[in-house]
Amino acid sequence: MEGERPASQSRRAAVLLVIAVFVLGIAIGVLGTYLEGYRVFGASIIHRTRPDRSPAALQHERQARVEQLTKDLSLTPDQEQKLDGVLTQMSTTYAGIHQQSSAQMDQARKHGRDEIRAILTPEQVTKFDEMMRKMDEDRKKAQGNN
C-alpha cells in the first residue's frame, strides 16, 4: 500500500503539469494573437488621421475628380463645366442627407436616453447623465467636432 501512494502522487503531478502547460499555451496564444493584431491593425488605427472635410479640401477633391473624368472621358469644356455643377449639387445633397440623418440620430438618442432615465432612481439618473456627458464628449472628439 505504501508503494501506491508515490505512484498516485506522481500521476497527479503529471496531470497538473499537463494542465499547466495547456493553460500556459492558451495564454501565450492569446497574447501572441493580441500582439499580432495590434501590429497589423492597431498602429494604423492609433495613428490614423481624419480626412480633411473643410470646404477648400472638398472643392479641391471635386476639381481633381472633374479633371480625372475630363481626361478619362475626353469631355468638352461645356461637359466639364456641367460635370462640375452636377458634382457640386451632389455634394450639397449629400451634406443635407448627412444633416438629416444626424438630426434623426440625435432624436433617437434623446428618446432612448429618456426611456432609460424613466426606469432609474434619482441617484442612478445623476450617474447616467454624467456617463452620457462623457460619452458625448468622446463622440464629438472622435468626429472632429463636426
The pLDDT value recorded for residue 16 is 92
For residue 62, tell me if it sits in a domain.
no
For residue 67, tell me if it sits in a domain.
no
Q: Quick: pLDDT tens for 23-33.
A: 999 999 888 88
**Overall domain count for the chain:** 1
For residue 143, tell me if it sits in a domain.
no
State which residues form the domain around 11.
Answer: 1-48
Q: Please name which of 131, 61, 47 lies closest in space to residue 90, comparing C-alpha atoms.
A: 61
DSSP label at residue 120: S
For residue 23, tell me if it sits in a domain.
yes
E-assigned strands of the chain?
none
- pTM of the full structure: 0.48
For residue 97, tell me if it sits in a domain.
no
Q: Quick: pLDDT tens for 34-51.
A: 877 766 666 565 556 667
For residue 30, tell me if it sits in a domain.
yes
Alpha-helical runs (H) found in the chain: 4-37, 43-47, 55-73, 77-118, 122-142
C-alpha cell of residue 130: 454624467
